[in-house]
Chains A and B, each alone.
Chain A
């Protein structure tokens, strides 16, 4: 055992043993345990090929297409843009020639990489996980240090199995108390972002602690960690516990037999020591959190569903006032308007934030025996093949279909529309995804972020709705 007596954080317990070496300027070369690659990785493989480099540890990588694939069927030829089609094809080609394990489009286990890695037991406590996608923080729900990287860094990891990082600061967000009726993990993270701002955690790794977090399921923990990046955080993490171990047990890529016992011995020590010092600590109370909805073009533009579109005259600075006016013009909203008066055209239930089975159950509960409002186009895009299959076993697909939803194939889909699944210009979408940026779901699209239950409520009423009135 190390003789260090100083209590340390969960983050340090993961960071320290992964440091291969430190540079004079403080940057550390971190060893990567798991590298997830998706169909946006072609530029990184191209960088590798230009230098005639091989993948150093293909068994530590894992690939699946999710961004560029069709969700109406599984035929890649239905993606009309040849460049987009080529992205999904390139991943299969690159994974094959680099000997990287790969779940292709025809594989029943395919799905959004941040949904299937946990599903398969690839995301494990105490590990460093990277992916060329900013929502990699999702895997922090398992007590891993997981973060998104750019294409050059993807190439760097492929070639060296390491990545250079400046040591981030630590931010603890502690939430206590029971969640109210209709309040979900999505509302927790939206409330956090509203509280600290979209830049609130820049330079920090967030550890979520407290009774409220402890009581969340793995699926809910993933939703919270997933959107750490929307608060500016490098990563988000939750200490592993019995909930985590139960999830991992018997998963295909999780350790088994003697390896499981050895892993458990390590995992049981992965918590922040009592008295460990964080650079910053924030306390919140679960009872203060309502069902939340965004009204603007940053996830920090978020309010309880009972709220009103803000008044620009209330802004503290001229820059903020101008920004508010611009946002409201883009979103076609009026200052002071009740959020529940906002009519919607589209509903998107899915994404790496909210595309898991519990999300679909939560939405189906609201949708059951109701019908999608006239003029609203509503989609459910399961996060993975196994999520879709499980939903069909439970009959959730029939509930959605009977209500007038489209029941589609797994993928990133309308979260960012890279495969062509877009919200048309000028139309408004109630979305369970993670970003409401200008043009995020398609040029001119208007996005309101919310939980699956809230999106389901919006689908059946045709406007933003307080789900508590329907349950």
Chain B
């Protein structure tokens, strides 16, 4: 897993609630192996019209957000299907952070396992961020995982929660499976105690 420590980036404002994983990565790409660049399919049906032309009104197609590595969204981001491909599409699309008031549970877990940092802020803070981007799309947001801080110059600062283990894994680029494999003796003992 790629390490995550700090990030400076403009934000992609996805001003919608309930953005589901079918929109993020449509089901017809689920059979593709992980080696693919899933970023090429990110939001593809929202991004393109019926003729395959890019819709200029969709923020992902707007040049001022071309270098954005932070997504900003409303409630329940990543709801729906458990497909990890949705996280892969966002990650391969060069995003490393998603900020929203709440997330689909499975998406949230999937993100942390793939080097994508999901940050929950309260709706008022989210509203403030949307307003800052609306006022100036070039607003640069600074994310510091060590300090668990989000800073925008002197106009915005917030702390965010993340559990210590996920933080450690992200900072070091470690994955959970490697850690759990070291716990196999405990798992074996648990199995034995149950079968008594």
Q: Which residues of A contact B (CB under 8 A)?
A: 20-21, 23-27, 29, 31, 40, 42-43, 46-47, 51, 53, 67-68, 81, 83-84, 86-87, 132-134, 147-153, 155-156, 159-162, 164, 166, 168, 198-199, 202-203, 229-230, 232, 234, 298, 300, 319, 322-323, 326, 416-418, 425-426, 435, 437-440, 443-444
A53→B50 CA distance, assembly (Å):
44
A159–B18 contact, CB under 8 A?
no
- Max count, chain B CB within 10 A of own CB: residue among A51, A166, A202, A234: A202
Q: A31-B194, A440-B27 are known contacts; what are 7 more A-B pairs with Cβ within 8 Å?
A: A148-B82, A150-B84, A151-B110, A156-B177, A161-B187, A202-B76, A300-B18
Decide: A198 near B180, CB < 8 A? Known: A134-B81, A232-B76. no
Count of chain B residues near A, Cβ 8 A: 54
Interface 1/0 per residue, B1-40 and A, CB below 8 Å = 0000000000000011110101100111011111000000
| 25 sample A-B contacts, Cβ–Cβ < 8 Å, listed by A number | A23-B165, A25-B165, A43-B84, A43-B85, A68-B31, A132-B82, A150-B87, A151-B110, A152-B114, A153-B113, A156-B176, A159-B180, A160-B177, A162-B180, A202-B102, A232-B104, A300-B18, A319-B74, A323-B16, A326-B16, A418-B27, A438-B20, A439-B45, A440-B27, A444-B45
B187–A20 contact, CB under 8 A?
yes
Residue in B104, B105, B180 whose CB lies within 8 Å of A164: B180
Asked if B196 is an interface residue, CB under 8 A from chain A, the answer is no
B109–A437 contact, CB under 8 A?
no
A349→B85 CA distance, assembly (Å):
27
B15–A443 contact, CB under 8 A?
no
A443–B26 contact, CB under 8 A?
yes
A29→B185 CA distance, assembly (Å):
13
Residue in A26, A29, A234 whose CB lies within 8 Å of B183: A29
A439–B165 contact, CB under 8 A?
no
A68→B28 CA distance, assembly (Å):
10
A21–B22 contact, CB under 8 A?
no
List residues of chain B with CB within 8 A of the CB of A156.
176-177, 180
- Closest CB in chain A relative to B40 CB, distance in Å: 15
Asked if B106 is an interface residue, CB under 8 A from chain A, the answer is yes
A379→B34 CA distance, assembly (Å):
33
A33→B18 CA distance, assembly (Å):
32
- Closest CB in chain A relative to B124 CB, distance in Å: 13
List residues of chain B with CB within 8 A of the CB of A31.
187, 190-191, 194
- Closest CB in chain A relative to B189 CB, distance in Å: 9
- Closest CB in chain A relative to B14 CB, distance in Å: 11
**Number of residue pairs spanning A and B whose beta carbons lie under 8 angstroms apart:** 171
In B76-101, the 8 Å CB interface with A consists of: 76, 79-85, 87
List residues of chain A with CB within 8 A of the CB of B30.
40, 67, 418
Q: Which residues of B contact A (CB under 8 A)?
A: 15-18, 20, 22-23, 26-28, 30-34, 45-46, 50, 74-76, 79-85, 87, 102-106, 109-110, 113-114, 163-166, 175-177, 180-181, 183-184, 186-187, 190-191, 194
Decide: A202 near B33, CB < 8 A? Known: A24-B164, A134-B80, A161-B187. no
List residues of chain A with CB within 8 A of the CB of B27.
416-418, 440
List residues of chain B with CB within 8 A of the CB of A437.
20, 22-23, 80
Residue of A nearest to B114 (CB): A152
- Closest CB in chain A relative to B113 CB, distance in Å: 4
List residues of chain A with CB within 8 A of the CB of B187.
20, 29, 31, 160-162
A344→B34 CA distance, assembly (Å):
37
List residues of chain A with CB within 8 A of the CB of B176.
152, 156, 164
Decide: A81 near B31, CB < 8 A? Known: A156-B177, A202-B76. yes
Decide: A83 near B31, CB < 8 A? Known: A149-B82, A152-B177. yes
- Closest CB in chain B relative to A58 CB, distance in Å: 14
List residues of chain B with CB within 8 A of the CB of A416.
22, 27, 81
B163–A26 contact, CB under 8 A?
yes
List residues of chain B with CB within 8 A of the CB of A203.
102, 105
B79–A46 contact, CB under 8 A?
no
List residues of chain A with CB within 8 A of the CB of B184.
160
A84→B30 CA distance, assembly (Å):
9
List residues of chain A with CB within 8 A of the CB of B186.
20-21, 29
A453→B84 CA distance, assembly (Å):
34
A64→B95 CA distance, assembly (Å):
35
Residue of A nearest to B74 (CB): A319
Residue of B nearest to A440 (CB): B22
List residues of chain A with CB within 8 A of the CB of B46.
438
List residues of chain B with CB within 8 A of the CB of A229.
80
B105–A234 contact, CB under 8 A?
yes
B105–A202 contact, CB under 8 A?
yes
B163–A25 contact, CB under 8 A?
yes
- Closest CB in chain A relative to B126 CB, distance in Å: 10
- Closest CB in chain B relative to A157 CB, distance in Å: 10
- Closest CB in chain A relative to B191 CB, distance in Å: 8
Decide: A51 near B183, CB < 8 A? Known: A166-B163, A323-B17, A438-B22. no
List residues of chain B with CB within 8 A of the CB of A23.
165
A134–B180 contact, CB under 8 A?
no
A280→B103 CA distance, assembly (Å):
19
A242→B14 CA distance, assembly (Å):
48
A417–B28 contact, CB under 8 A?
yes
List residues of chain A with CB within 8 A of the CB of B181.
53, 159-160
Decide: A134 near B106, CB < 8 A? Known: A161-B187, A417-B27. yes
